[in-house]
Every structure is written in C-alpha cells, then in structure tokens.
Amino acid sequence: MTRASLFVCACALLIGAEAIGRYKGLEFLEPCSREDRSLESCLARSANALTEHFRHGLPQLGYSDVEPIILDELHIALGGGPDGYRAQFKDITAKGVSSLRVTGLRARLSDDEVQLQLAMSIPKIRAAAKYRSSGTLILVKASGAGDYWGEYEGVKAKVFIRAKPFSVQGRRYLRLQQLKMDFSVQNIKMGVENVRDSNAIILAALNLFINTNSQELLKEMKPDLRRKLVQVMTTFVEKIFAQVPYDAWIAD
C-alpha cells in the first residue's frame, strides 16, 4: 500500500471516528461537558448551529423545509355586546422564524432532570392569512372577509423547557415534561386587503386603526397565539428529542 493510500485510509478512519462520536449527520453539534464552566455558552452555540442548519433543511431529521410555519386559526375579540368586533384568522403562514438566534441560555442539569431557559431573537416575521370579521371598529362597520398581512420586527421570545433523561439501548435521550414561552414584538405593521363588500374609504380607516393600535391588537391576540405557538414548539422539541440523543449535546 502506498503512502498516499495509507494517508487516505487514516483520514477516513479519523472522519469516521468523529462522525460516530458526534452522531452521523449531526457532526455540526458540539458536545458539551457538564464540568465545563462555559457549559451554557457551549449549549447556546450548539443550539444556534442546529437552527442555522434548519434554515436549509435537515432531511436526516425529517425536515426538508422548515418554512413557512403554519397555524390553523386564531381569534380576536374587542368590546362586548352585539356590535363588539370579532375576527377569525385562518390558514396562517409565517416566514422568517428560521432566522432565530439563541441570545441567552441558562441550564440546570442533573441525572434526573434537565431545565433550560432560552432567550431568542428573530429579526422579522412576515405573516399572511385569510380573515373574516364582524362588528364595529371606530364607529365603522367592520364586517367582512379578505386577506390579512403582517410584518413583525424585533421579535423577542423566552422559552422554558423541562425534560427527563432516559436510556434506550445504551443511549440517553430526553423526554419533554413541560414547555412554556412568552414573546414581545418591537414594531408591527399589518393590514387587510381584498375585502369583499367594502370601499376604499372604509378600508383605509380600518387599516389606519389597525396600525395605530397594533400593539393593543397583538395583546388581545396573544393568549390564543401563545397557546398555538406552544403546541407547534412542543411538537418540534419532542421530535428533536426523539431523534437527537442527549449524548449529542452533553458528552458526560
């Protein structure tokens, strides 16, 4: 065997060993040590490495595309009585979530439980939906149906995860026990268009009200939106935990 052949074989063995140590297809994850004083920074780097790869899809985890994020429907209610404003948003699609970055991470690890608190930021999310509304806004009859659009800039989120380690065939995994989250948005632009049975003056007044009171409208939507996002995130985290061994994150 030539020296060149020996060199190629040696490189292949080293690469194979690293792939086994870091799990094939997930070599970009940096295993962290619980004894490392920089454990939380290490976990944040691994989390960001995972999100960066998700932007381009991770077919090895069953994600060829991660966007758009889809929610089935949301509701909003303003005011009471027969003329109170009610709106329903359906077939909601959101793009931009995959640009999230983990900006802070706190961890409490034990043999029986893992607790993670993550701070995240997303530069901009664009959303679209079909909407239907009834009632009155700013003394204007706002009943109708059409298209909704929204641009949310400076999105900040905090996520709390509690999980329990368990072993399967010599490998440790995590089972999600609890997930909570909250979020805020710095700047919001949104509006409605293609509204049936409406005229330009009423539509302009409606969109002016929506943008002038966007934070208040988000506040009213938040409970329902947060519940839906927790459902989406729970499904996502459970899938990640089921496919990415705990040992890929923590080496000891």
Over the stretch 236-250, which tens digit does the pLDDT of each residue have? 899 889 988 898 888
- The pLDDT of residue 195: 87
The residue among 83, 200, 91 whose CA lies nearest residue 142 is: 83
Encode the chain (252 residues) as per-residue pLDDT tens digits: 444 443 333 333 333 333 334 566 678 888 899 889 999 999 999 999 988 888 887 787 777 777 888 999 999 888 777 778 889 999 999 999 989 999 999 999 999 999 999 999 999 999 999 999 888 876 677 788 999 999 999 999 999 999 999 999 888 999 999 999 999 999 999 999 998 877 888 888 888 888 998 999 899 899 999 999 999 999 989 988 998 889 888 887
Any domain includes 126: yes
Q: What is the pLDDT of residue 24?
A: 66
Instruction: Report the pLDDT value the prediction gives residue 119, as an integer from 0 to 100.
Output: 98
Q: Which residues contact 134 (CB under 8 A, 6 or more apart)?
A: 85, 86, 87, 142, 143
Nearest to 36 by CA among 46, 27, 23, 26: 46
- The verdict on residue 221 lying in a domain is yes
Q: Is the peptide bond before 68 cis (omega within 30 degrees of 0)?
A: yes
**Tokens standing for 41?**
């920074």
**88 within domain boundaries:** yes
pLDDT value of residue 200:
85
Q: Is residue 230 part of a domain?
A: yes
Q: Which amino acid is at 98?
A: S
CATH of the domain at 72: 3.15.10.30
Could you give the 3-state DSSP secondary structure of residue 219? Answer: helix
Please tell me whether residue 81 adopts helix, strand or coil conformation: coil
User: Would you say residue 19 lies in a domain?
Assistant: no
Q: Is residue 25 part of a domain?
A: no
Q: What is the pTM of this model?
A: 0.83
232 found inside a domain: yes
Number of domains the chain is built from: 1
Confirm whether 58 is domain-assigned.
Answer: no
Domain span holding position 187: 67-247
Mapped onto helix, strand or coil, the DSSP state of residue 9 is: helix
- The pLDDT of residue 177: 98
